[in-house]
């Protein structure tokens, strides 16, 4: 009975807050000295993306606030000092009522979720995304950002604007449906400029990691679940790499979810990957920066995760582990890459695939072609984000 009363109270609390927010934000939007922007961070993985957004516009007339979601153990009471936002002029909100009772000029989200219940059209909503979307939740029809989760119960798109990193996808979606013409803002990938700069330091990163300069470096970046790289290639992969270690240097990196059980029918492989340190292989731990490991590589073996696109951006040749086509959107970069580069159905094919991508120059040219879909200079990206933010906080447009 008590739990029923609690659930009922929470429902009424959130529902009332929705109406309060609507009432407060119905005021006519005017130009003023400072505009209030609410950042919704529902998990630690979203911090780097929201921080990047702040860094593009922080010199403008904006005040930043953040609300931490249920992806944190301590929820909204999570300390700013324990995040990537530490040192920035960002005010954390610890109660939902603070959001209900504030006049917001813009709400920025890195995932397809709101910080609190909202009437669509009350406050301008910007979706910045949290990577390069390849994964599909509707059997390959669209990528995650445009799939079923991106619409509300009335069939309307959740956000007023969204940043799209891929030039080709932006064009295809606008061509497919007129409603996307005003919604999608092509910006290029937010970290593309940094990745290009870092890609010039491959030799330095190899030296830092203690890798010999006389043999190709091959990195494995696996996601999680039974269709991810390490599950598809299996334990035989490590035996084959051990046999080939006089010809190649190998690096292993696996998703943090693979370090604990997430499905009773799937055995996590995180600890097995960790054991490869005992054989002298380099293993990247989940909390470490991925940049040094991918930049030191000549070839990246990937699955359908964002690392596929990041490897392409870094100018690396790739090999793809087998996965169902419907796992990625039919217009995604992931789909195009899988149809272009070698695909491993099992670990026994690794040696042949490595010779293929390293010896055939056309694979390097293909990687450069795919890079063009995502690349943007740091300066151009900054200008685009500043312009979009200024338009969305402009009272004349959103009154």
pLDDT per residue over 77-104, tens digit each?
A: 999 999 999 999 999 999 999 999 999 9
Reported as a single tens digit per residue, the pLDDT across 198-255 is 999 999 999 999 999 899 999 999 999 999 999 999 999 999 999 999 999 999 999 9
Indicate the pLDDT class of residue 9, thresholds 50, 70 and 90: confident
Topology of domain 2-188+378-392 in CATH is Rossmann fold (3.40.50)
Tokens of 37: 């922007």
State the Cα–Cα distance between residues 42 and 29, nearest whole angstrom. 27
Q: Is the pLDDT of residue 60 over 80?
A: yes
List beta partners, residue 118: none
- Homologous superfamily (CATH) of 193-374 is Glycogen Phosphorylase B; (3.40.50.2000)
Closest CA to 298 of 231, 222, 208, 213: 213
The model's pTM: 0.88
Q: CB under 8 Å to 386, separation ≥6 — which residues?
A: 56, 57, 60
Q: What angle do CA 369, 371, 373 make, to 5 degrees?
A: 90
Q: What is the pLDDT of residue 95?
A: 94
Neighbour-count burial of 315, counting CB atoms closer than 10 A to its CB (0-12 exposed, 13-18 middle, 19+ buried): middle
Q: What is the pLDDT of residue 286?
A: 86
The stretch 287-296 carries a mean pLDDT of: 93
Average pLDDT score over residue span 100-127: 95
Mean pLDDT for 40-59 is: 95
**Residue-wise pLDDT tens digits, 254-279:** 999 999 999 999 999 999 999 999 99
In this prediction, residue 102 carries a pLDDT of 95
- Residue for token digits 């709400």? 107
CATH 3.40.50.2000 positions along the chain are 193-374
Shortest CA distance to 72 belongs to which of 47, 98, 42?
Answer: 42
CB-based burial of residue 31 (10 Å sphere; 0-12 exposed, 13-18 middle, 19+ buried)? exposed
Task: Give the C-alpha distances (Å, rounded to integers) separating 255 from 66, 106, 221, 260, 275.
Answer: 27, 33, 8, 10, 15
Q: What is the mean pLDDT of the chain?
A: 92
**For position 399, what pLDDT does the model report?**
37
Contacts of 20 (CB under 8 A, 6+ apart): 100, 101
79, 97 in Cβ contact below 8 A? no
Written as one string, the DSSP assignment of 321-351 is E---GGGB-TTSHHHHHHTTS-EESSGGGHH
42: left (phi over 0), alpha (psi -120 to 50) or beta: alpha
Among residues 267, 266, 270, which one has the least CA distance to residue 222? 270
Q: Provide mean pLDDT across the span 375-384.
A: 95
pLDDT for 105 beyond 90: yes
């Amino acid at each position: 009975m008590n739990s029923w009363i609690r659930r009922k109270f929470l429902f009424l609390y959130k529902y009332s807050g929705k109406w309060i927010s609507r009432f407060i934000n119905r005021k006519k939007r005017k130009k003023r000295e400072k505009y209030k922007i609410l950042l919704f961070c529902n998990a630690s993985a979203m911090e780097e993306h929201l921080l990047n957004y702040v860094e593009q516009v922080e010199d403008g007339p904006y005040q930043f606030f953040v609300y931490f979601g249920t992806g944190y153990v301590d929820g909204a009471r999570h300390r700013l000092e324990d995040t990537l936002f530490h040192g920035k002029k960002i005010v954390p909100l610890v109660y939902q009522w603070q959001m209900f009772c504030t006049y917001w000029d813009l709400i920025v989200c890195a995932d397809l979720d709101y910080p609190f219940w909202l009437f669509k059209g009350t406050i301008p909503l910007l979706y910045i995304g949290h990577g390069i979307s390849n994964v599909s939740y509707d059997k390959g029809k669209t990528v995650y950002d445009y799939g079923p989760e991106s619409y509300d119960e009335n069939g309307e798109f959740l956000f007023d604007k969204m940043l799209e990193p891929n030039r080709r996808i932006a064009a295809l979606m606008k061509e497919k449906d007129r409603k996307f013409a005003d919604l999608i803002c092509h910006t290029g990938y937010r970290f593309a400029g940094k990745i290009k700069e870092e890609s010039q330091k491959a030799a330095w990163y190899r030296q830092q990691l203690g890798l010999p300069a006389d043999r190709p470096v091959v990195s494995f970046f696996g996601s999680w679940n039974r269709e991810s790289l390490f599950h598809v290639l299996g334990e035989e992969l490590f035996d084959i790499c051990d046999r080939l270690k006089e010809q190649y240097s190998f690096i292993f990196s696996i998703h943090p979810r693979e370090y604990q059980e997430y499905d009773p029918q799937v055995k996590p492989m995180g600890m097995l990957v960790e054991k490869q340190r005992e054989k002298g292989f380099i293993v990247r731990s989940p909390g470490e920066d991925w940049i040094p490991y991918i930049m030191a590589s000549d070839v990246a073996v990937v699955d359908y995760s964002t690392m596929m696109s990041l490897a392409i951006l870094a100018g690396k040749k790739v090999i793809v582990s087998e996965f169902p086509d419907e796992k990625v959107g039919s217009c995604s970069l992931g789909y195009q890459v899988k149809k272009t580069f070698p695909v491993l159905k099992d670990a026994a094919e690794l040696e042949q695939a490595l010779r293929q991508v390293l010896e055939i120059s056309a694979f390097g040219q293909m990687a450069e072609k795919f890079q063009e879909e995502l690349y943007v200079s740091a300066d151009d990206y900054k200008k685009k984000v500043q312009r979009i933010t200024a338009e969305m906080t402009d009272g004349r447009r959103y009154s």
